[in-house]
């Protein structure tokens, strides 16, 4: 399922912000009209590849913020699990020092609505609801513009970690497009020449956004 070009699914859920503050009703809607959002999912707390990604995004957090982009993470773990992991030092496998919000998708509905839930619900012969997979999130990443539209989507299987440089490049490309009305060709990076939009679809987008 691709969400590119569509409104990012809205939600309200518990989250841990600022490295340890638990809140009940976190929503990406707070950023509409003001910020880009890089919203990424990871499979589970207290695992191996996941902390490397969360620390990698934290180490570049100011670079995202300088571009007007907020970073938000999400997994199907609870707020309490997120909070506990945030108390563990990096050398022990923890994510202490991560300050961007981490959403608790305990109902699995956020992951499901974004198309990254590994598994589904079915019914057994007794009519009971059963899970058909691990019911955790793939490594999904969504770049959302200031109008709340998904502009970039990437989904990796569990063993494959993501590239923060590439995520920053995509933010740069979106920002350049918004500010200059130019499209970004293959291997484009900030400072390189872009191209004037000529295709009808891009021109229509420019005319209506």
Active site residues: 50
What would the 3-class secondary structure string for the chain be?
CCCCCCECCCCCEEEEECCCEEEEEECHHHHCCCCEEEEEECCCCCCCHHHHHHHHHHHCHHHHHHCCEEEEEEECCCHHHHHHHHCCCHHHCCCCCCCCCEEECCCCHHHHHCCCEECCEEECCCCCEEECCCCEECEEEEEECCCCEEEEEEEECCCCCCCHHHHHHHHHHHHHHHHHCEECCCCCCCCCCCEECCCHHHHHHHHHC
């Amino acid at each position: 399922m691709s969400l590119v070009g569509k409104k990012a699914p809205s939600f309200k859920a518990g989250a841990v912000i600022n490295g340890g503050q638990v809140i009940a009703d976190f929503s990406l809607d707070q950023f509409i009209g003001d910020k880009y959002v890089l919203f990424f999912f990871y499979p589970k707390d207290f695992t191996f590849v996941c902390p490397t990604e969360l620390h990698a995004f934290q180490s570049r957090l100011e670079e995202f913020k300088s571009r007007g982009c907020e970073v938000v993470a999400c997994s199907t773990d609870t707020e309490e699990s997120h909070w506990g992991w945030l108390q563990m030092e990096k050398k022990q496998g923890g994510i202490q020092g991560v300050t961007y919000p981490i959403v608790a998708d305990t109902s699995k509905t956020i992951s499901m609505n974004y198309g990254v839930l590994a598994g589904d619900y079915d019914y057994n012969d007794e009519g009971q609801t059963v899970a058909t997979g691990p019911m955790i999130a793939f490594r999904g990443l969504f770049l959302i513009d200031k109008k709340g539209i998904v502009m970039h989507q990437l989904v990796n299987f569990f063993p494959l970690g993501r590239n923060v440089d590439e995520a920053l490049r995509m933010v740069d490309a979106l920002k350049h497009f918004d500010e200059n009305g130019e499209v970004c060709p293959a291997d484009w990076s900030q400072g390189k020449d872009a191209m004037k939009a000529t295709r009808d679809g891009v021109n229509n987008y420019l005319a209506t956004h």
